Chain A
Amino acid sequence: MELFFFIPIALLSVLLAFGVVFNKSPIGSAVSLIGMMLCLAGVFVIQSAHFLAILQVLIYAGAIMVLFMFVIMLLNLKTAEDTVWKAREHNTLLSVLTGFLVLGLVYKLVEIATDANFGPGMPVAENFGTTEMVGAKLFTDYVLPFEVASILLLVAMIGALVLAKTKTD
């Protein structure tokens, strides 16, 4: 039953990921990426990590991608000349090599995954992936990384402000 939902979502997410790479306009790439992130939220739901699935939609699709859209709108890249598909077409050898490299990467990753022979996993607890369980873990064992992450976000916020601020004086 889970496989019945998993395979279409997985195929769709791979397709949309290709859409991100091979789309002519940055807006198209961004829309594909939003679709891919929603698909991955679906994958997280199948993995019964419900809290993470909601966070995926809320943070990735709802906040980070809005930022991307915002910058695309701000720079108005749609009509800009340099945004058309420029996949190093002037260098066929490099693109062929890149393609082989990525194919090899896929082959190696799939080979490792299939050869590893993991066997059946542990039985999944009833409360796996709930907010309570993740929160309890986050605020006991991982409280220091949590605090560091908050400082990181603050630093990033100030850094972004300093970098993007127009010098008006």
Chain B
Amino acid sequence: MVELEYYLILSGILFSIGVLGVLVRRNAIVVFMCVEIMLNAVNISLIAFDRYNNQHDGQIFSFMVMCVAAAEVSVGLAIVISMYRNKPTINLDEFNLMKW
């Protein structure tokens, strides 16, 4: 029997790694992947609490997270492609037109 704490610690560590990736990487696609890590980490703790309380609401939430992730990735990657068309790079530091 795995205690709830173990799942929460795993979830926390994965979430932090996702944050690290978002802050540190400059490649737009890799930043996206790190956002996916964070979403996945949240799913673990949602299901862990679900199991702890023996109910199914958290699983619905993680189902919704998957839906939103799918939508987010399809739009996000389309944005990356159109960014690449404007300027043949996906380094986020290069996209500073709106910065003053």
Q: Are B5 and A113 in contact (CB under 8 A)?
A: yes
The interface residues of chain A, by DSSP majority, are classed as helix
- CB nearest to A127 among chain B residues: B56
Number of interface residues of A (CB under 8 A): 85
Q: Are B40 and A36 in contact (CB under 8 A)?
A: yes
User: Could you mark each residue 11-33 of chain A with 1 if its beta carbon is under 8 Å from any beta carbon of chain B, else 0?
Assistant: 00110011011010010011001
Chain B residues lying within 8 Å of A166, measured Cβ to Cβ, are 85
Q: How large is the interface on B (under 10, 10 to 19, 20 to 34, 35 or more residues)?
A: 35 or more
Chain A residues lying within 8 Å of B79, measured Cβ to Cβ, are 163
User: Could you mark each residue 149-168 of chain A with 1 if its beta carbon is under 8 Å from any beta carbon of chain B, else 0?
Assistant: 10011011101110110100
Q: Which of B34, B59, B93 contacts A49 (CB 8 A)?
A: B59
Q: Are B71 and A156 in contact (CB under 8 A)?
A: yes
Q: Are B70 and A40 in contact (CB under 8 A)?
A: no
Q: Are A68 and B14 in contact (CB under 8 A)?
A: no
Q: Which of A52, A106, A112 contacts B62 (CB 8 A)?
A: A52
User: Could you mark each residue 19-53 of chain B with 1 if its beta carbon is under 8 Å from any beta carbon of chain A, else 0?
Assistant: 11101111101101110110010011001101111
Q: Are A68 and B73 in contact (CB under 8 A)?
A: yes
